[in-house]
Amino acid sequence: MTPLPRSPLRRFVTDGLRDTIDSYATGGLPLHRFVWELDSRLTTLAELTGLPHWRTLAALRSAHHSLAVIDTALRETGRTRASTAERHALATAVTALRTTLARLDPPDPIDPVDPARPLPATPPVPALPAARLATATGGRLVSVA
């Protein structure tokens, strides 16, 4: 596939990654399914992104690898619950995924407002002094009460 650094398809894949991470974080996905979805989405993202973002992709793959190691350990031992250290490592990997994705695809100002993203601060509209108000209204002083 041809690398498309700002393509809508890449944005679609990164949004899907965010949704997958959110679904896992809220308990909607089991760990093995989360690891599988991350792998397939990261493979697609690597095909779309190209060389400029190789460090970002390496960081995403590293976090994915941490999750896969824990998933494999849980399945091999037959455990259903992660240890405290594993839960900490899972949380760290999820945080790394989110922060790395934010660097890869910063919010686009043209996109519709996403409730998860804060709105940019808008400066207050300054009040016009009486002299400027008179000039703006063609020399007539308008009562501002």
Domain contains 77: yes
CA 55 – CA 140 distance, rounded (Å): 63
Name the region of 89 (left: φ>0; alpha: ψ -120 to 50; beta: rest).
Answer: alpha
In a domain, 113, yes or no: no
Residue 35 belongs to what domain range?
8-108
pLDDT at 70 over 80: yes
Determine which helix (DSSP H) or strand (DSSP E) holds 105, and give its type and residue range: none
Lowest mean pLDDT among 4-13, 55-64, 71-80, 88-97: 4-13
Domain membership of residue 115 (yes or no) is no
Q: How far is CA 50 from CA 37, 39, 46, 79, 118, in A?
A: 20, 17, 7, 39, 29
The reply to whether 47 falls in a domain is yes
Higher pLDDT pick, 29 / 141: 29
Judge whether 126 lies within some domain: no
| Residue 91 included in any domain | yes
**Three-state DSSP class for residue 114:** coil
> Phi-psi bin for 138: left (phi > 0), alpha (psi -120 to 50), beta?
left
State the pLDDT confidence band at 120, using cuts at 50, 70 and 90: very low
Q: How confident is the model at residue 110 (pLDDT cuts 50, 70, 90)?
A: low
Domains of the chain: total: 1
Q: Rounded mean pLDDT of the chain?
A: 76
Considering the domain boundaries, does residue 70 fall inside one?
yes
